[in-house]
Amino acid sequence: MSEPFSGMAGRPLPGFVDIQVNGGFGHDFTADPSSIWAVAARLPECGVTAFLPTLTSGPPDTAVRALEVLASGPPAGWRGATPIGLHVEGPMLSHHRRGTHPPEALRSPSLEYVETVLAAGAPRMVTLAPELDGAEPVVRRLVDAGCVVAIGHSDATAAEANRAFEWGISHATHLFNGMSGLGHRDPGVAAAVLDHDSVTAGLIADGVHLSPESMRLAFRLLGSERLALVTDSISAMGAGDGVHRIGSIAVEVTGVEVRNAEGRLAGSAATFDHVARTMREATGCSWEELAAMTSATPARIAGHRRHPADLVLVDDDLRVLATSVGGEIVYRGVA
């Protein structure tokens, strides 16, 4: 497995797979889908070899444009992490759990919206709130089209979430965040996911979105085969503190923490190696379990067949030393 790094000191791991990347390095995919390739070129700096570019709530034209960008392929001479499809997060979300998704962009589940997007190609993942009127036929249509449908930004009860799992929803976007929770008499989405036998979940282990106790609870109940670490990164990842944007919304960034004008969390500025490090520190997971949560599990969720030479070389503190995509070293850090 370590052949691309022959003669280099460090620990080789399967390349990281991030299934929720809204942008980074000053670029926002919702505002400018054409920036997907620019961000992809730099993601190997964080150990990422494959990812799902993710759009926040907007008109169907934005998703259509992003699908066209992916279908057109990278510019000549490009090297970087592989986009493995599109994650459309919204706009069929709960107003009560919208986070920083602009309220004017939200809409009820609509087959018309879905068909407009599908005409340009099937997204790899779509996140929606299944308690909304009209959600069932939308979920079933997306599943039939080959999309992974995820529950997220949802105020559903556990009973509503369980019904949605029967329709074909198989994943939960950023577990605990943007969803009804663990009330002991009124269990919500988080309780339904933790109680289910097979639903997978993304986890923003950046040290801000979740407490160590919540990370350990998710890890103990779901295990590394059902948890996928994600960054939920925005344009501020790799771009420093200050004012940045998610689509049309201005946000304030301090370290990895991102908040909107209302003080709500609004994605993250964390890199993927940061969330891997934070998860390992919080849970004491083994290197093998970490490799599952950072690579094998998210790849399986996204239906991505990993190249055996998609690798990242890290030190014992999970700092990225080098990254290989398809056997070619595309990033080499400063020793």
Question: Which helix or strand (DSSP H or E) is residue 332 part of?
Answer: strand 328-332
Max Cα distance, the chain (Å): 58
155 is catalytic: no
Distance CA(80)–CA(44), nearest Å, equals 6
Distance CA(29)–CA(51), nearest Å, equals 13
User: What is the β-pairing status of strands 200-204 and 227-230?
Assistant: parallel
Distance CA(319)–CA(313), nearest Å, equals 8
Q: Are 230 and 218 in contact (CB under 8 A)?
A: no
Distance CA(192)–CA(196), nearest Å, equals 6
CA distances from 208 to 84, 107, 160, 219, 263 (A): 27, 29, 28, 17, 13
Q: Which of 232, 315, 316, 317 is catalytic?
A: 232
Active site positions, annotated: 232
